[in-house]
Amino acid sequence: MNKSLKAVILAAGKGTRMKSEKPKVLHEIFNKPLAGWVLSACEEIGSFENIVIVGHKGEDVEKFVKKQHPESVCVYQKEQLGTAHAVSMAKDTLGDFDGNVLILCGDTPLITAKSLFDFVEYHNKNNSDITVMSSVFENPFGYGRIVRNKNDAVAEIVEQKDCSDIQKDIKEVNAGIYCLSWQKIKGFFDNLKNDNVQNEYYLTDIIKWGNEAGLKVLAYILKDCSETLGINSRAQLADAFKTMNERHLNELMENGVTIVSPANTQISPETEIDADTVIFPNTFINGKNKIGKNCKIGPFAHLRGDCTIGDYVKIGNFVELKKSFVKSHTNISHLSYVGDAEVGSNVNIGAGTITANYNSITKEKKQTIINDGASIGSNTVLVAPVELGKKAFIAAGSVITKDVGANSLGLTRSSQREIKNYVK
């Protein structure tokens, strides 16, 4: 944990263009809310005691934060009066904190921990008091321009509508992320001004305030401008999903994973895959998973999260896994569902096998344990809780409700009958 770093994450907006009852920052990419991606990036660089500014349906956002990011806290902004006003809500919580404060928006899920780390490093190495993150766009229309002075420091941020003809040609724009030396700048939030057309309190005004106070104000240029893109619509949510997925697939391929058809494969950035594993088309891997080396996954496989898969494992077509641990050299080849299970090594699970792990009346989920060397015939149902011993053999078409011992045959099947000349 970095005790000298905290983050304030702005998550109070409604997100009208999403046309949803759900708060914008709780819309998901790979089953993880937008705000969750931002919080995770902050935590990865050591900032855990973060402050989330909530407003619209704040109770829902707070519930998520408490469950998934318990060291962070939520502070309410009852009226949305601008970005500076939102940050000012965190002033009492930050109090005498003597360190750097990152300011981020909760709808920017593409920001990476590496970029935030480099940003804070730049701020510290240059002894800056206020550092704004910037990006360079070939078409900067609509963005606030970064206006630098002769010393290359930031003189001001000028919004599109206020730009002069010369300023309109500036391609460096405000990316909306700040690193602030809290004790140096907290006075800015004591006397906020809203003398603008919208009558809102803008965080960009801190640049002019900092210069007038004799503080050092710098800008850090982010190389990949896509990282700061905010989500304001369903179309932008889909674009962010695509970008996040492509970024992770490229990283996996660079590290020795074969992605047969990247255009038809989706893998969560929270999933780790070792070298020489092959991912076949139309595979969807959600959440946090760990997949070993020399595995074959897919086609049409679905991993729903919380899965650990050993080396040389085959997860075949139309197989679904959830919250399962699978040891090495095991085959789950086709048309099966394995959930809440521990599966040993050298296990063979036949087509159409199901772990019946959920009781819809009690809402309980039970575990299935399949020990090393077990073989399960096609079209079998394993009703949890149940355990199969080492090298147990389950006959095809069985419904197994009791444990089966090592080297034993499990069989539940009514006797076959033949009625001669029935068709005639």
pLDDT in tens, 157-179: 998 888 999 999 999 999 999 99
Residues 224 and 260 reside in one and the same domain: no
56 labelled catalytic: no
What per-residue confidence (pLDDT) applies to 39?
A: 98
Summarize pLDDT for 108-128 with one digit per residue, the tens: 999 999 999 999 999 999 999
What per-residue confidence (pLDDT) applies to 9?
A: 98
Residues 224 and 283 reside in one and the same domain: no
Is 246 inside any structural domain?
no
Summarize pLDDT for 79-95 with one digit per residue, the tens: 989 999 999 999 999 99
Q: How far apart are CA 86 and CA 98, in angstroms?
A: 20
What per-residue confidence (pLDDT) applies to 161?
A: 86
What per-residue confidence (pLDDT) applies to 31?
A: 95
Residues 56 and 152 reside in one and the same domain: yes
Q: How far apart are CA 380 and CA 148, in angstroms?
A: 69
Range of the domain at 124: 5-228
Q: Which three-class secondary structure state does DSSP give residue 368?
A: strand
Residues 317 and 371 reside in one and the same domain: yes
Structural domains in the chain (count): 2
Phi first, then psi: give them for residue 234, nearest 5 degrees.
-65, -35
Q: How far apart are CA 295 and CA 316, in angstroms?
A: 10
Contact call for residues 66 and 52 (beta carbons, < 8 A) = no
Q: Which two tokens stand for residue 244?
A: 């996040």
Is 184 inside any structural domain?
yes
Tell me the average pLDDT across 39-59: 97
Mean pLDDT of the chain: 96
Contact call for residues 339 and 323 (beta carbons, < 8 A) = yes
Summarize pLDDT for 245-294 with one digit per residue, the tens: 999 999 999 999 999 999 999 999 999 999 999 999 999 999 999 999 99
1 pLDDT above the threshold of 90: no
Is 157 inside any structural domain?
yes
Residues 48 and 127 reside in one and the same domain: yes
152 pLDDT above the threshold of 90: yes
What per-residue confidence (pLDDT) applies to 195?
A: 77
52 pLDDT above the threshold of 90: yes
Residues 261 and 214 reside in one and the same domain: no
Tell me the average pLDDT across 337-343: 98
Residues 224 and 366 reside in one and the same domain: no
Instruction: Work out the angle between the directed axes of helices 34-44 and 58-68 (0-180°, nearest 10).
Output: 40
Residues 68 and 212 reside in one and the same domain: yes
Q: Which three-class secondary structure state does DSSP give residue 379?
A: coil
194 pLDDT above the threshold of 90: no
Pairing assessment for the beta strands 364-365 and 358-359 based on DSSP bridges: antiparallel
Residues 64 and 153 reside in one and the same domain: yes
Residues 21 and 126 reside in one and the same domain: yes
Residue 319's closest CA among 308, 304, 306, 340?
A: 304
Q: How far apart are CA 41 and CA 343, in angstroms?
A: 33
Contact call for residues 344 and 360 (beta carbons, < 8 A) = no
198 pLDDT above the threshold of 80: no
Tell me the average pLDDT across 1-8: 89
Where is the domain boundary, 193, 228, 263?
Answer: 228
Domain containing residue 181: CATH number: 3.90.550.10
**pTM (predicted TM-score):** 0.93
Q: Which of 69, 85, 248, 334 is catalytic?
A: 334
Percentage of the residues of the chain whose pLDDT score is greater than 70: 100
pLDDT band, very low/low/confident/very high, at 312 (cuts 50, 70, 90): very high
Residues 274 and 153 reside in one and the same domain: no
pLDDT band, very low/low/confident/very high, at 196 (cuts 50, 70, 90): confident
Domain containing residue 285: CATH number: 2.160.10.10
